[in-house]
Structure 1
Amino acid sequence: MKVVALWVYPIKGLRGIRLERADLGPQGIKHDRNFMLCRVEEGEEPLKLQLSRFPQCALFSQEIVGDSIQVRYNVPEEPLVPPCPEQAEVLEVPLGPDITQLRKEEVNLHQSKVNAYRMGERYDAWFTACFGFPTALFYIGDERRPILGTFSPDSEPTPHPKGWLAALSDYMAPGTTTAGEPNWLTFSDCAPFLITTGASLANVSARLAAGDMEMAKFRPNIVLDGDKEWDEDFWTRLTLNGRPAFTLTKMCVRCTSVNVDYDTGRPARGERGTVLKKLMADRRVDRGAKYSPVFGKYAFLDRDVPQDATITLGDDVQVTRRSEERPVFDWPIHEKEAARFYSDKV
């Protein structure tokens, strides 16, 4: 198989950025989801802004220029908020802001908690003007979110084809996540990478009389051409250009974000607004999330991958290990008692 598309989302929830080449790390493609937006109301916890609940996130495009993210608000033909000067401005967000003067605030993303950095009034005011409600921009900085359930490949030891000594060597290999240290996340939902295939997208497109489905709406990081639709459900290990690279642990369950019209910032009209329903017909294949259809697979970078590893369009990817059964989703998204910080003992 070949890599046919690469995506990064520096600010979670906004439109993605297509890449030709990307740096890889234990927390995903470089710069991926280091920032997140929240609705902030006095006396209430910050509420994450995601496309499923706030489809207007799709109206914001982002671009990496030098050491900054340039964010633009694309005003739809039918505006969602009254006009204001900020809508015509380009907001520049530093990729690596100075955190020494930033205050922290608790953020809960799917019960995985973190004390993230508030970027400050300038950024909050711009997003507030464009969204039409109080909004804050958060930065993960040097903080970490825990991985819940058994999503991490370290949750359950996997037999190693080279034997236990080789497995131990792999586990002790250098990386941002050091040997013996639990895997962690930035503001990615459940894993550092989301891998999808063109073969499975073709299956979705075939359900739409109006034309092709956009892969962008599934918000992947790595897109492979794929040999067979839905085959990725059973993948557990992948090589990149002949070298072990990714461990795949869980399937990605889907929500109404796939129904969003990126041009209007609203749920799509007509057939485009029924993609989730169409997938429910035969893609509710995860016993742990039986009411949600599945598209794509969550992945983690193997610990022995070099720190300077990259991925490029056209790279070769091969499946080296498969499972006979599909994995079971067990992230406690709706279990408030499961909420914890990375530093909390399990």
Structure 2
Amino acid sequence: MIDAPGAFLVLITVFVFFLPLLIYFPPVPPSKRDALLETHTQAGLGRSQAKDDVNGAQKSGGASGRAKIRSLWIYPLKSCRGIEVAQSKVLPTGLEFDRLYTFAQLKSPFPVGLQTPADEKGAHVWRFITQREFPLLATVQVDLFLPDIAKARGQLSARVAEPFLLVRFPWQERGLRGVLDWAAAKLARGWPARPEKEFVLPVVFPSREEIDARGYAYEEVTIWRETVTALNLEVELPRELSLYLGVSNRLGLFRIDPAQLRNVYRCAPTADEAGYQPVTGFQDAYPLHLLNLASVRHFDTKIDKDETLPVLDPRRFRANIIVDGDDTPYDEETWKKIRFIPGPGSKRDASTFHVSCRTVRCKMPNVDQDTGHRHPVEPDKSLRKFRDVDEGAKHMGCLGMQLTPLYPRTASPDDLESWVEVGMSVEVLERGNHVYIRQ
């Protein structure tokens, strides 16, 4: 018969024996990420140092002081966490994979009067949502998986040749199920990991057969003052996402239809000037957004800081192209046409852009892009105080510039393509004044 010390020794021995097995072979079911990694490679550069770039320690400009591309960002799912990339194809809609999807909530007219007709009382509209209303969108992680020929060799499914998005958000069930999820997350991804919910979205626009088979539906969705017909994939959303974000209305998920893009007018070049009609997807108004770190650094000195906002993270401004190296803050506000020039050894050609207008800011930069915490006043208060600089956007703060791609040839759809990559230098081709035109 084993006494108490002996039993304890046996338990310790068993634990020490099985601990390495639990670490290297955790007893948890494979995740959707694991399945995707069998045939795909995750795109992106991993964790960025962009938050620290505002201190000026990592300036990337050369001896000439010419600005260079410091980082590139895509946001496949609007208002969710971005993906930093080293290079990107530039399409008429902006960077490839950018703002393909947006969340929307179903809203009805409110309030309604007693004499309002029944059909108007029941009217509803899908309206896009962002971190402005639901700051926890900043913590929804989006990963892009691109097909890997070497990994997929021998796979029979045609889907292995398509890219996919993996969307993840923190979620822990209550009770014993939640405890098990917590333990599984730690075993699978390390001690800092938290339980998550995840779902997969297609990047390639679905075929008619797929739309019918999956139960997707074409519906109208409103983004700002524009209404566009897009594909609603709300059947793919887990019910927990609405609870996590705090969306009380019905939650939808819309994919922009490449055949029904939004035309861009106002400050953009005309179709005759550009050689094609400028368009965009689910971006706010223009295909691309550029941010100059010299301007961010200067503006950072104007903000009243506290423990929740010790430094102004450039990621709060959700730019596609972040440039650095030019010590003149706000110089980008005089640019009218620019060219990005590749460095020595690059295989890319130069790419040209029309600098269409300033970026008029709302309260969205108040949201911490790591935690989803929304600061009650900053930087919105300082933007309105110190960056009320555009005659067309009185009492609004401006920071950053909106871009429209330009191409040397526009005769066929295949011509409407260029590239940008980190390290390209900025050549200013034309300068002038900007006046924002409201929608």
Q: TM-score range by the shorter chain?
A: 0.7 to 0.9
Query: Which letter does structure 2 place at the counterpart of 1:47?
Result: R
Q: CA deviation at 1:281?
A: 1.9
Separation in 2 of the partners of 1:151 and 1:144?
A: 21
Task: Note if contact 1:236-1:248 (Cα within 8 Å) is conserved in structure 2.
Answer: yes
Separation in 1 of the partners of 2:68 and 2:217?
A: 44
Question: Which moved further from structure 2: 199-208 or 306-315?
Answer: 306-315
2:400 aligns to what? 296
Separation in 1 of the partners of 2:386 and 2:300?
A: 15
Correspondences of 1:197-212 after superposition (within 5 Å):
197-208=292-303, 209=305, 211-212=310-311
1:107 aligns to what? 221
Q: Percent identity?
A: 23
2:74 aligns to what? 8
- Of 208, 214, 225, 2:324 maps to 225
Show CA shifts across 1:123-146 (max 9, x none).
Answer: 264533432432110001234343
Structure with higher helix content: 2
Query: Which letter does structure 1 place at the counterpart of 2:75?
Result: Y
Structural RMSD (CA): 2.6
SS at match of 2:380: helix
Correspondences of 1:328-339 after superposition (within 5 Å):
328-332=435-439
2:340 aligns to what? 240
Separation in 2 of the partners of 1:149 and 1:291?
A: 23
The 1:224/1:263 distance shift into structure 2, 3 A limit, reads closer
Question: Which moved further from structure 2: 209-218 or 293-302?
Answer: 209-218
Task: Note if contact 2:355-2:401 (Cα within 8 Å) is conserved in structure 1.
Answer: yes
The 1:30/1:125 distance shift into structure 2, 3 A limit, reads same
Task: Note if contact 1:147-1:190 (Cα within 8 Å) is conserved in structure 2.
Answer: no
Separation in 2 of the partners of 1:263 and 1:239?
A: 32
Separation in 2 of the partners of 1:143 and 1:117?
A: 11
SS at match of 2:201: strand
Bigger RCO of structures 1 and 2 (CA < 8 A, at least 6 apart)? 1
2:145 is equivalent to residue 65 of structure 1: yes
TM-score scaled by structure 1?
Answer: 0.79
SS at match of 2:242: helix
The 1:99/1:135 distance shift into structure 2, 3 A limit, reads farther
Q: CA deviation at 1:219?
A: 0.4
The 1:301/1:308 distance shift into structure 2, 3 A limit, reads closer
1:152 aligns to what? 268
Correspondences of 1:269-288 after superposition (within 5 Å):
273-288=377-392
SS at match of 2:315: helix
Task: Note if contact 1:99-1:117 (Cα within 8 Å) is conserved in structure 2.
Answer: no
Task: Note if contact 1:248-1:298 (Cα within 8 Å) is conserved in structure 2.
Answer: yes
2:421 is equivalent to residue 312 of structure 1: yes
Task: Note if contact 2:199-2:238 (Cα within 8 Å) is conserved in structure 1.
Answer: no
Show CA shifts across 1:87-115 (max 9, x none).
Answer: 72222111114142231111121222210
Separation in 1 of the partners of 2:391 and 2:207?
A: 42
Separation in 2 of the partners of 1:124 and 1:89?
A: 8
Q: CA deviation at 1:267?
A: 1.5
Separation in 1 of the partners of 2:104 and 2:238?
A: 10
2:430 aligns to what? 321
In structure 1, list runs of 5 or more residues that go unmatched.
77-82, 159-169, 172-178, 333-346
Show CA shifts across 1:195-217 (max 9, x none).
Answer: 11110111122234454311110
The 1:121/1:260 distance shift into structure 2, 3 A limit, reads same
Separation in 2 of the partners of 1:41 and 1:12?
A: 19
Task: Note if contact 2:287-2:403 (Cα within 8 Å) is conserved in structure 1.
Answer: yes
The 1:75/1:197 distance shift into structure 2, 3 A limit, reads farther
SS at match of 2:322: strand
The 1:99/1:123 distance shift into structure 2, 3 A limit, reads farther
1:251 aligns to what? 358
Separation in 1 of the partners of 2:259 and 2:238?
A: 20
Question: Which moved further from structure 2: 89-98 or 30-39?
Answer: 89-98
2:216 is equivalent to residue 136 of structure 1: no
Separation in 1 of the partners of 2:270 and 2:107?
A: 38
Task: Note if contact 1:151-1:191 (Cα within 8 Å) is conserved in structure 2.
Answer: no
Query: Which letter does structure 1 place at the counterpart of 2:312?
Result: M
Q: CA deviation at 1:120?
A: 3.6
SS at match of 2:167: strand
Moved over 4 A (4+): 305-308
In structure 2, list runs of 5 or more residues that go unmatched.
1-66, 109-122, 147-162, 173-177, 182-194, 343-349, 410-414
Separation in 2 of the partners of 1:92 and 1:331?
A: 37
Query: Which letter does structure 1 place at the counterpart of 2:255?
Result: Y
Correspondences of 1:35-54 after superposition (within 5 Å):
35-41=101-107, 43-54=123-134
TM-score scaled by structure 2?
Answer: 0.63
SS at match of 1:274: coil
Query: Which letter does structure 1 place at the counterpart of 2:168?
Result: R
Query: Which letter does structure 2 place at the counterpart of 1:151?
Result: C
2:164 is equivalent to residue 90 of structure 1: no
2:28 aligns to what? none
The 1:304/1:124 distance shift into structure 2, 3 A limit, reads farther
Separation in 1 of the partners of 2:401 and 2:260?
A: 22
Q: CA deviation at 1:239?
A: 0.9
Task: Note if contact 1:112-1:145 (Cα within 8 Å) is conserved in structure 2.
Answer: no
Show CA shifts across 1:240-266 (max 9, x none).
Answer: 217451001110000111111334433
